[in-house]
Chain A
């Protein structure tokens, strides 16, 4: 992957190329051997007026004759691109696949970027001027009140992820943030503050998938599910049924229990989402993940390390790259190559979410 940053200073094609080259070198796969190239990207047309990224990438790398396309699933474009690659290999359609996710959000004005992100919102909610942080605020309001949890539980998630990011040379933010700093930051969508919300970012990440069992990390499941479009259509604003369903399908497909997972990359676009997703995935009973966060259960040395690479909060969130970057982090962890933030693990889970839960992709990996 490339180091995620606020402004990479080059276009998304260059970012995808660099991440792809690194993945191909790591896998020792020459580009002409690729049967398929899948690019995950949400909005290059809107951010940079670019289209056909997958064709440009395949040609630049030299993967002539390969199948190639681009997958769009808003902020889960990366994991959906990965799912497309997994299904290509599982079906026998391809033996060797390059999956690359990337986004360059800095090329557009803040107004354009806000508009792009806002475009995924249901029109009847959009009419009221909702933003994704405001959905986060509504969920955090409901969660903290219902379970009598203090704001510091959310700040603890932010502090943990920033501390992990500080150990990750690829993270956008590499400075530790204390619970006090986080709790003191300006309000964005009450009760969420600046440090509860992930940044906009530029970056790319890539992996190579192969048929057979010669690799060092095996894909045990990659499942996805659609949820509601409008947040108000959920029976309960604390539900993210797409995450619950994708998780259930993944655990069923792999034949695993939750206890089998050693480390997890969770989609923390907002701190409260890390807690809600951990509960929806079944790692904690409803209303209890906040205590686990405050008790340090999800720290690097805890019983279930969550977001060892910094999460979206500290590593960054270049929309189409994020889902692939979660998998890159898990691969490094499973290989024992996560210098400075290594956790003991044989298995890992990643969940990448589209919008405020419109869709979710859950992947289970195991050291081979």
Chain B
């Protein structure tokens, strides 16, 4: 996964949107996430159909950008350095990266 940045003002964000939240521009470029740090974690123990149970989750900050993602291991905690990597089945029909230790 990559982050997106506004060519005009440099604002960056994680998830697709139609306009830059800062200047309203529509000219975007990709930016690699790089290394980040976990801000919060939880273990979701009552999960929807098609999702692993339990489902460790975290919010991680990569510079100006934050993402919510599954954790590669349940021992990860806030403050740990992480990267968003790998190709996992996140839920039935969805594949994507998880947060893992650097």
Contacts and interface: CB of A to CB of B under 8 A. Distances in A.
Interface in B29-73: 39-52, 55, 57-59, 66-70
A128 B40 contact: no
Given A114-B48, A142-B78, A231-B59, A190 B90 contact: no
B69 A128 contact: yes
Contacts of B13: 233
A139 interface: yes
B44 A230 contact: no
Contacts of B42: 134, 137-138, 140-141, 189-192
B45 A233 contact: no
A226 to B, nearest CB: 12
A188 B46 contact: yes
Contact of A189 (B14, B45, B49, B59): B45
Nearest to B42: A137
B52 to A, nearest CB: 7
A287 to B, nearest CB: 15
A129 B90 contact: yes
Contact of A141 (B15, B40, B51, B52): B40
A192 to B, nearest CB: 8
A142 B94 CA distance: 28
Contacts of A127: 90-91, 94, 96
B22 to A, nearest CB: 12
Nearest to A127: B94
Contact of A131 (B47, B58, B78): B47
B91 A129 contact: yes
Nearest to B56: A190
Given A111-B49, A129-B55, A189-B44, A145 B15 contact: no
Nearest to A114: B48
B46 A230 contact: no
A118 B48 contact: yes
A138 B13 CA distance: 20
A129 B14 contact: no
Contacts of A233: 13-15, 66
B41 A232 contact: no
Interface in B12-27: 13-16
Nearest to A186: B45
B64 to A, nearest CB: 9
Nearest to A234: B66
A124 interface: yes
Contacts of B58: 138
Contacts of A128: 55, 57, 68-70, 90-91, 96
B49 A138 contact: no
Contact of B68 (A142, A186, A231): A231
Interface string A175-201: 000000000001111111000000000
Interface string A199-211: 0000000000000
A258 interface: no
B48 A129 contact: yes
A269 to B, nearest CB: 15
Given A130-B68, A134-B57, A237 B39 contact: yes
A122 interface: yes
Interface string A107-123: 00001001100100010
A130 B94 CA distance: 13
B48 A115 contact: yes
10 contacts: A114-B49, A124-B16, A129-B52, A130-B57, A138-B42, A139-B40, A141-B42, A142-B40, A142-B59, A232-B68
Given A230-B14, A233-B15, A233-B66, 8 more contacts: A124-B67, A129-B90, A137-B44, A138-B41, A139-B40, A186-B45, A189-B44, A190-B42
Task: Pick the 3 closest A-B CB pairs, nearest first.
Answer: A137-B42, A129-B51, A134-B44
Interface of A: 111, 114-115, 118, 122, 124-125, 127-131, 133-134, 137-142, 145, 186-192, 230-234, 237
